[in-house]
Amino acid sequence: MKVEDVICPFCGCLCDDLVVEVEGERVIGVENGCTLAQEKFMGDHRLGHPIRRTGKEWTPVSYDEAIETAARVLLEADRPLLYGWSGTQGEAQSVGVHLAELLGAVIDNTSTVCHGPSIMAIQEVGHPGCTLGQVKNRADLLIYWGCNPIDAHPRHMSRYTTYADGFFLKDAFRDRKVIVVDIRETESSNIADEFIRIDPGGDYEVLSALRAIVRGKGALVPASVSGVSREQLFRVADLCKAARFGAIFFGLGLTMSPGKQKNIRNAIELTEELNRHTKFTISPMRGHWNVYGSNEVFTWISGYPYAVDFARGIAFYNPGETTAVDILKRGECDACLVVASDPGAHFPRDCCAHLASIPTIQIDPHVNATTHLSHLQIPVAVTGIDAEGTAYRMDGVPIRTRSLFPSRYPTDTEILERIYAIVAREKGP
Binding site for ligand SF4 (CB under 6 A): 8, 10-11, 13-15, 33-34, 36-37, 153-155
Under rule CB under 8 A, residue 279 binds other proteins = yes
Taking the CA atoms of residue 38, residue 41, residue 42 and residue 44 in that order, the dihedral angle to the nearest 10 degrees is 130
Q: How far is the CB of 316 from ligand SF4 (least distance, A)?
A: 34
Q: What's the CA angle centered on 26, arms 394 and 155, to 5 degrees? A: 30
Q: Which is nearer to other proteins, 32 or 224 (CB)?
A: 32
| Among ligand SF4, other proteins, none, partner that 423 touches (CB below 5 to 8 angstroms by kind) | none
Size (the chain), residues: 429
Rounded distance between C-alpha atoms, residue 225 and residue 414, angstroms: 54
Rounded distance between C-alpha atoms, residue 64 and residue 70, angstroms: 10
Residue type, position 50, single letter: P
Q: What's the CA angle centered on 277, arms 273 and 278, to 5 degrees? A: 105
Under rule CB under 8 A, residue 409 binds other proteins = no
| Among ligand SF4, other proteins, none, partner that 37 touches (CB below 5 to 8 angstroms by kind) | ligand SF4
Under rule CB under 8 A, residue 300 binds other proteins = yes
Under rule CB under 8 A, residue 403 binds other proteins = no
Q: Which is nearer to ligand SF4, 13 or 274 (CB)?
A: 13
Taking the CA atoms of residue 148, residue 152, residue 154 and residue 157 in that order, the dihedral angle to the nearest 10 degrees is -40
| Among ligand SF4, other proteins, none, partner that 347 touches (CB below 5 to 8 angstroms by kind) | none
| Among other proteins, ligand SF4, none, partner that 132 touches (CB below 5 to 8 angstroms by kind) | other proteins
Under rule CB under 8 A, residue 175 binds other proteins = no
Q: How far is the CB of 308 from other proteins (least distance, A)?
A: 9
* Closest listed residue to residue 84, CA positions, set 300, 387, 369: 369
Q: Which is nearer to ligand SF4, 257 or 390 (CB)?
A: 390
Under rule CB under 8 A, residue 176 binds other proteins = no
Residue 413 phi, psi dihedral angles, 5° rounding? -60, -45
Q: How far is the CB of 172 from ligand SF4 (least distance, A)?
A: 18
Q: How far is the CB of 38 from ligand SF4 (least distance, A)?
A: 9
Q: Which is nearer to other proteins, 117 or 344 (CB)?
A: 117
Q: In this chain, which of 50, 149, 154, 166 binds other proteins, going by CB under 8 A?
A: 166
User: Among residue numbers 213 through 272, which ones bind other proteins (CB under 8 A)?
Assistant: 244-245, 272
Rounded distance between C-alpha atoms, residue 268 and residue 122, angstroms: 8
Radius of gyration of the chain from its Cα atoms, rounded to whole angstroms: 23
Q: Which is nearer to ligand SF4, 6 or 282 (CB)?
A: 6
Rounded distance between C-alpha atoms, residue 413 and residue 254, angstroms: 34
- Max CA distance (Å), the chain: 70
> Which among 21-29, 43-51, 249-257, 393-401 is the span making contact with other proteins, rule CB under 8 A?
393-401
Q: In this chain, which of 110, 118, 255, 281 binds other proteins, going by CB under 8 A?
A: 281
Q: Which helix (H) or strand (E) holds 151?
A: helix 149-152
Residue type, position 105, single letter: A
Name, in order, each residue with C-beta under 8 angstroms of 106's C-beta and a sequence gap of 6 or more: 79, 80, 81, 82, 100, 307, 308, 309, 310, 311, 322, 324, 327, 333
Q: In this chain, which of 111, 263, 302, 370 binds other proteins, going by CB under 8 A?
A: 302
Contact positions toward other proteins, by CB under 8 A?
Answer: 4-5, 7, 16-17, 90, 94, 98, 101-102, 119, 122-134, 136-138, 159-160, 165-168, 244-245, 272, 275, 278-279, 281, 295-296, 299-305, 310, 312-315, 317, 390, 392, 396-400, 429
